[in-house]
Each structure stands twice: as structure tokens, then as C-alpha cells.
């Protein structure tokens, strides 16, 4: 598996209201939209989980619910604090701000409430930058569909964490195209959309995945 840089997810979109920056830390900091510009890559100290340099890559996230771009309240799937009607406009403005990659999540697919299939495909085609897509991707066909539609990488969550044999098969089948995402609370892996706290320390999971 490629050792990808940790990503800061800049959620929401262009608005006078502040946006939140999501990171591994439990603390969150609001950043005004107008202040956002694509940051230059920064190489810091060596990673605490391996021999690879620690690099931070900021990737704007477009979270989709009911055909709109939303920002979840405290990261919970049950409520949102911001809704923007046109996700394609949001994507265009992120790219205009200088960001060179987008992260798209279909929250409806992730929670079994439906899908934003056509909108996701349009977000893959329109912005003109590489797009990684996640949300409800739990089988080979779902991964292939998005990659065939033009996604650069696909983001797997629940099944990738709980079924490492399947994850290994996908990494071998689709080298360089798989991203594993998981929620973390108190340095412990959380699955099922942030509703199920496991007994698995996140650093143990990272060490396990280094072999892939």
C-alpha cells in the first residue's frame, strides 16, 4: 500500500460562515473561507509510526446528503450545521482557491439511506482535478464503478477495517487506487459511521497495514 500523507479535511464550502478543519486530533479549529488557499507541501519530522517522513496534505472534502453539500455537526451523521445547495459550485470554488485534489463522500450511501450516484459521477468529471471518493464502498463492484467513472482513488471504511483479507485483495487488485479511512476517538478505532467504538488502538491498525 502506498504510504499516503495524512490529510486535513477542509469540510463545507465557500460561505461567510466558518469552516472546520478535521484532523486526527480531537480538537477542531474554524477557518474562514476567504482565508483558505491551497497550502504548499510541508515536510516535518519523521512519522511516529514508521520510517517515512511526515507530510501533511490538505484535501477539501465535499460531503453529500440529499444532493447537497453538508457539514456534519461535530462529525455526527445525525445532524448537519451547514447546507450548500450546489456541490458542483463548491467543487469549482475549491479548485479556484488553488487546491489540486478533492475528497467526495456520499453520506447517504455510507448510512444506507440511498445514493447520490449521478452527482458523484459529475463531481468526478467536472472539477478537472483528481478526486477520491468514499461512502458505502463495501464490495468489488462498487469500487470498480467509481474507478471506471474516473475517480483517481476509492476510499474504503468499515469493511476495510473489519475485513483485512478483503482489503489486502483490493490492494493487490488495484495497486495505488485504495485509501483506507477510519474514524478515531481517544486513539481508538471507531467503525459503523462513528457509532461503534472498537478495542483497537489506531496505531496498532497503522502498524498492521504497513505490511500491505
Q: Which residues are catalytic?
A: 63, 183
CB 43 within 8 A of CB 53: yes
| CA pair distance 56, 160, nearest whole angstrom | 23
CB-based contact 91:62 (threshold 8 Å):
yes
Show the CA angle centred on residue 90, arms to residues 85 and 96, nearest 5°.
155
What number of other Cβ atoms are within 10 A of residue 36's Cβ?
Answer: 19
CA distance 180 to 155: 6
Q: Taking a C-beta distance cutoff of 8 angstroms, is the pair 210, 171 a contact?
A: no
CA distance 89 to 127: 9
Query: What is the C-alpha separation between 110 and 3, in angstroms, rounded?
Result: 25
Asked whether 104 and 134 are in contact (CB, 8 A), the reply is yes
DSSP codes of every residue in 151-191: -SEEEE-HHHHH-HHHHHHHHHHSTT-EEE--EEETTEEEE
Amino acid at each position: 500500500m502506498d504510504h499516503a500523507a495524512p490529510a486535513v479535511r477542509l469540510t463545507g464550502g465557500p460561505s461567510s460562515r466558518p469552516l472546520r478543519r478535521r484532523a486526527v486530533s480531537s480538537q477542531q479549529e474554524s477557518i474562514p473561507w476567504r482565508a483558505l488557499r491551497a497550502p504548499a507541501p510541508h515536510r516535518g519530522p519523521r512519522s511516529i509510526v514508521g520510517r517515512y517522513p511526515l507530510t501533511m496534505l490538505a484535501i477539501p472534502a465535499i460531503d453529500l446528503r440529499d444532493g447537497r453539500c453538508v457539514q456534519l455537526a461535530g462529525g455526527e451523521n445525525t445532524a448537519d450545521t451547514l447546507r450548500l445547495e450546489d456541490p458542483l459550485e463548491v467543487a469549482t470554488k475549491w479548485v479556484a482557491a488553488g487546491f489540486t485534489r478533492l475528497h467526495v463522500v456520499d453520506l447517504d450511501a455510507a448510512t444506507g439511506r440511498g445514493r447520490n450516484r449521478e452527482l458523484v459521477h459529475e463531481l468526478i468529471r467536472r472539477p478537472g482535478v483528481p478526486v477520491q471518493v468514499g461512502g458505502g464502498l463495501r464490495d468489488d463492484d462498487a469500487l470498480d464503478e467509481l474507478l471506471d467513472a474516473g475517480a483517481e482513488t476509492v476510499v474504503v471504511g468499515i469493511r476495510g477495517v473489519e475485513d483485512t483479507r478483503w482489503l489486502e485483495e483490493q490492494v493487490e487488485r488495484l495497486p495505488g487506487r485504495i485509501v483506507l479511512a477510519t474514524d478515531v476517538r481517544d486513539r481508538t478505532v471507531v467503525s459503523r459511521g462513528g457509532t461503534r467504538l472498537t478495542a483497537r488502538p489506531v496505531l496498532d491498525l497503522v502498524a498492521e497495514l504497513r505490511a500491505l
